Amino acid sequence: MAPFPHFLKVAHSAEGRYAQKLLNDLMENYSNALRPVEDTDSALNVTLQITLSQIKDMDERNQVLIAYLWIRQTWHDAYLKWNKDDYDGLDVIHIPSNLVWRPDLVLYNKADDDFSGPMDTNVRLRYNGEITWDAPAITKSSCVVDVSYFPFDSQKCNLTFGSWTYNGNQVDIIMGMDSGDLSDFVENVEWECSEMPATKNVITYGCCSDPYPDITYTVVLQRRSSFYIFNLLLPCFLISFLAPLGFYLPADSGEKVSLGVTILLALTVFQLMVAESMPPSESVPLIGKYYIATMTMVTASTALTIFIMNIHFCGAEAKPVPHWAKVLIIDYMSKIFFVYEVGENCLPCCPEDRKLSSQGSTATFGPCVFCSHGSGITGVDSKLARNVEYIANCFREQRATCAKGAEWKKIAKVMDRIFMWIFFIMVFLMSILIIGKAP
């Protein structure tokens, strides 16, 4: 077995010697500055194939897509051919790419300050003149980002490749595949690449009459929305349900307005977080519309809370409750929304209180101790009777005033309950409508 490794060493040595001789012969009178065609009137076909390896970043605010690509270009060089029998059957060699002519294909929609192209990797040269150049590249391309349905949006970013100086009559670009290659794509945590179709375009620019072909690869990206649902959408959904509960909070607690203002501040913080990551455009994101609608609802609920609290704290100097309000709100709406006061169904103890109750009074107090008037009391001094009657009248006026204040408080409580259910329904319908618009 000893001679076999020695034979391999001799074979590799012979191959290296023939490769060196072949390279010297090929480069003896070769120039990489000119287009390698025998007929200058014929076009040189360049086959382009793109493999998308990774989506490094999608900058929505600056509308830039950063991708890691493998670029394969294949063409035939008319001056780099040889008879492989003359070189011990050597049919393929790998040489530095800067030794041969290379097509000046560039990314038209490049958004990077660095104008360098792919890396100077080696090219694969076959005996029939076929050159294959595989080079990796990290590209920054401009992409029109539409965030109307954020965070349920999908984006389409174009990668347009074409020759910068040669027209279609000199260098023609041919698609190697109908779409970009996604077999080696590394999954991104935020974006999912579903397809990468390719189209060839032939454009005539205003400066020149010659056609300029290019190949456009459309990277179709679908956003993974789970992160935004749990970190932006769900908190807003839960916070929005706190707004109707502000109507259920007792007015005497003094925290009704504070709760509304706190909810409004919390929604403003989330709105600023969304605005910082979105590009400044006329299209409002779907989640932004949800925040704006929720903030409008919270603002309206806070304003209504202030109005209802004014009704609750009317006091003795307020006007009596109108008859229509007693019938509509106190008699009917309070029963529909199950608003009752403690002791409301108890009957008054004396005829005067029963008469007062039949006229609409809803608040009763302790047992009547001054039901009899001074003129009906026998054997009592008239001066004492007048004093007792005066005290009794004062108590009656006080009870009437308290009854009037209790009526306004009940109206405020019924209105609180009405608006609470109205806003609960609004929050639910608003959430369904906003999420239902997601594609």
Instruction: Reply yes or no on whether the pLDDT at 342 is more than 70.
Output: no
Q: Is it true that the peptide bond before 250 is cis, omega within 30 degrees of 0?
A: no
Contacts of residue 298, defined as CB under 8 A and 6 or more positions apart, other chains included, come to: 240, 243, 260, 263, 264, 267
What number is the average pLDDT over the span 424-438? 83
Instruction: Reply yes or no on whether the pLDDT at 365 is more than 60.
Output: no
Cα 70 from Cα 136, distance rounded (Å): 4
Instruction: Reply yes or no on whether the pLDDT at 2 is more than 50.
Output: no
Beta-strand runs (E) in 37-80: 44-59, 64-76
3-state secondary structure of 196: coil
Instruction: Reply yes or no on whether the pLDDT at 49 is more than 90.
Output: yes
pLDDT tens digits along 263-319? 888 888 888 888 887 777 777 888 888 888 888 888 888 888 888 888 777 766 667
What number is the average pLDDT over the span 186-191? 91
Cα 332 from Cα 312, distance rounded (Å): 19
What number is the average pLDDT over the span 94-100? 92
pTM for the predicted model, two decimal places: 0.72
Cα 158 from Cα 220, distance rounded (Å): 9
What topology is assigned to 32-224 in CATH?
Answer: Acetylcholine Binding Protein; Chain: A, (2.70.170)
Q: Please, what is the average pLDDT of the chain?
A: 80
User: Token match 């204040």: residue?
Assistant: 405
Cα 218 from Cα 160, distance rounded (Å): 9
**pLDDT band for position 364 (cuts 50, 70, 90):** very low
Q: How many residues does the chain have?
A: 439
Instruction: Reply yes or no on whether the pLDDT at 148 is more than 70.
Output: yes
Contacts of residue 118, defined as CB under 8 A and 6 or more positions apart, other chains included, come to: 71, 133, 135, 136, 137
- Residue 193 to residues 182, 223, 304, 329, 356: CA-CA distances in angstroms? 9, 9, 48, 59, 77
Contact 339, 410 (CB under 8 A): yes
pLDDT tens digits along 379-389? 556 777 777 77
Which of the pair, 167 or 314, is modelled with greater confidence?
A: 167
Q: DSSP state, 382?
A: H
- Residue 288 to residues 153, 232, 272, 273, 416: CA-CA distances in angstroms? 13, 10, 10, 10, 29
Cα 349 from Cα 191, distance rounded (Å): 76
198-203 and 154-163 beta bridge pairing:
unpaired
**pLDDT band for position 116 (cuts 50, 70, 90):** low
| Chain-centre distance for alpha carbon 410 | 44
Q: Buried b vs exposed e over 383-412: b needs ≥16 C-beta within 10 Å?
A: eebeebbeebeeeeeebeeebbbbbbbbbb
Task: Report pLDDT for 371.
Answer: 46
Task: Report pLDDT for 210.
Answer: 85
Query: Is residue 234 packed enough to be buried (19+ CB in 10 Å), middle (13-18) or exposed (0-12)?
Result: exposed
Torsion angle of the four alpha carbons 250, 253, 259, 260, in this order, in degrees rounded to the nearest 10 = 60
What number is the average pLDDT over the span 73-85? 93
Each domain of the chain, given as residue ranges in start order, spans 32-224, 229-436
Neighbours of 344 (CB within 10 A): 13
- Of 126-140, 316-330, 343-357, 368-382, the least confident: 343-357
Task: Report pLDDT for 292.
Answer: 86
Q: Which tokens in the block code for residue 32?
A: 């990489």
125-172-113 Cα angle (round to 5)? 85
What number is the average pLDDT over the span 160-173? 92
Task: Report pLDDT for 275.
Answer: 80
What number is the average pLDDT over the span 180-195? 92
